[in-house]
Amino acid sequence: MTKEELYAHPGWRWCSSEGAELQTLLIGLQTSFREKLEWLEEAETLTLQLRASRETKRKPEAGNPDAPS
């Protein structure tokens, strides 16, 4: 693949920090307010599930004095 072919691909721009920021802004402009709320609710649910899982894994370790911290 030549350099020209690489730069002709539309996805190459998103591989930098500036490109990722622009892509995020573009997605934000293309989604509705309701879609953004749904995404935030799903992200919050995932965060709560991960937190609960982490706490569940820590509880057995708290009762074992030989467990590494």
Burial class of 14 by CB neighbour count within 10 A (0 to 12, 13 to 18, 19+): middle
Assigned domain for 34 exists:
yes
Assigned domain for 1 exists:
no
- pLDDT of 5: 73
Closest CA to 27 of 17, 18, 16, 35: 35
- pLDDT of 64: 62
Please give the tally of structural domains in the chain. Answer: 1
Which pair of tokens denotes residue 31? 């989604």
- pLDDT of 34: 97
- pLDDT of 67: 56
Phi, psi of 9 (to 5 degrees): -75, 130
Assigned domain for 31 exists:
yes
- Local mean pLDDT, 10-residue blocks, the chain (69 residues): 71 79 91 96 97 89 59
Assigned domain for 68 exists:
no
Q: How far is CA 4 from CA 1, 7, 12, 53, 58, in A?
A: 8, 5, 11, 47, 52
- pLDDT of 53: 95
- pLDDT of 16: 80
Full residue range of the structural domain in which residue 42 is found: 7-62
- pLDDT of 4: 75
